Amino acid sequence: QKVLAELDRAKRQHPKWPLDVFCALSILSEEMGEAHQAALEAAFRGANPDEVEAEVIQLGAMCIRFLENWPFRTRLGPGGQA
C-alpha cells in the first residue's frame, strides 16, 4: 500500500518516464543508492532507521514503474549496438 501510494505520488510529480532502458535503470540505481546511504547512516551514524524504509518504498515504486514501461525502445543488438 505504501509503495502504491508512492508510485501515484511519483507519477504526478514526474509524469514522464524515460523511453530507453539505460535511463530507466539509472533511476533504479539512484534509488538503490539512496537506500544504501540511509542504511549506512542508520547503522553507523545513528540516523532514523525509518529512512531506510522510506527509501526502499521509493525504490519499489520505481521498480513497478520500470516494469509498467517494459519493453523499452532501446535494444542492444550483436556487439552492443543499439
In this prediction the pTM is: 0.86
Q: How far apart are CA 55 and CA 46, in angstroms?
A: 17
Mean per-residue pLDDT, 17-27: 91
Residues in the chain: 82
Tens digit of each residue's pLDDT (9 = 90 or more) over 23-78: 999 999 999 999 999 999 999 999 999 999 999 999 999 999 999 999 887 655 55
Q: How far apart are CA 64 and CA 49, in angstroms?
A: 23
Q: Using pLDDT thresholds of 50, 70 and 90, give the confidence band for residue 79.
A: very low
CB 34 within 8 A of CB 58: yes
Query: Is 19 a residue whose pLDDT tops 70?
Result: yes
